[in-house]
Amino acid sequence: MNVKALYARAMESLYLACIVISATALVLITLIIPYGVFMRYVMSSASSWPEPFSVLAMVLFSFFGGAAAYRANVHICVQMLTDAVGPAARKWLLLLADLCMIATALFMLVYGTQLVQITWNQTIAEFPKLSVGLTYLPIPLGGLFTLLFIIERLWLGAPPPESIMYRDQPLAE
């Protein structure tokens, strides 16, 4: 198996991991928030942990899901501009967008890592055994994963039609 095929396979696995983590975080948020509301307003006994837990799950969902959304090319973009120009200009605009995404991913990776290091020895009041730095870890990891997906797109092109990304598409007749 050549290097390109290995990289494509690794990105497929990474994409699936990002989707599973994001989906799990979203399900947990969906379960925890109603529990917190029920405890507060029905039982008159508010729990202190549902809101901070949901915020932590939202961080996971946002940064891992954002990386997966980039790979699947379903992120928010301004398509009107690229549709209004010719193919040559479109190619350059898409390259510019990828360069901007590289800058964003590197920013997340570098400054997110610094944030994790600075806050590693701090704890969260509601979860005293949990490091604040650990809760910020999805920021540099999301940047790294996005950077890896950008490299995949620039080096290998879009994922092939048999990618797991397209499994939710209707079958062609």
Domain ranges of the chain: 3-166
Predicted model pTM: 0.87
Max CA pair span of the chain: 63
pLDDT above 90: percentage of residues in the chain:
64
Mean pLDDT highest for which of 82-91, 137-146, 164-173?
137-146
* DSSP character string of 15-59: HHHHHHHHHHHHHHHHHHHHHHHIIIIISS---SSHHHHHHHHHH
**How do residues 139-159 score in pLDDT, each as one tens digit?**
999 999 999 999 999 999 888
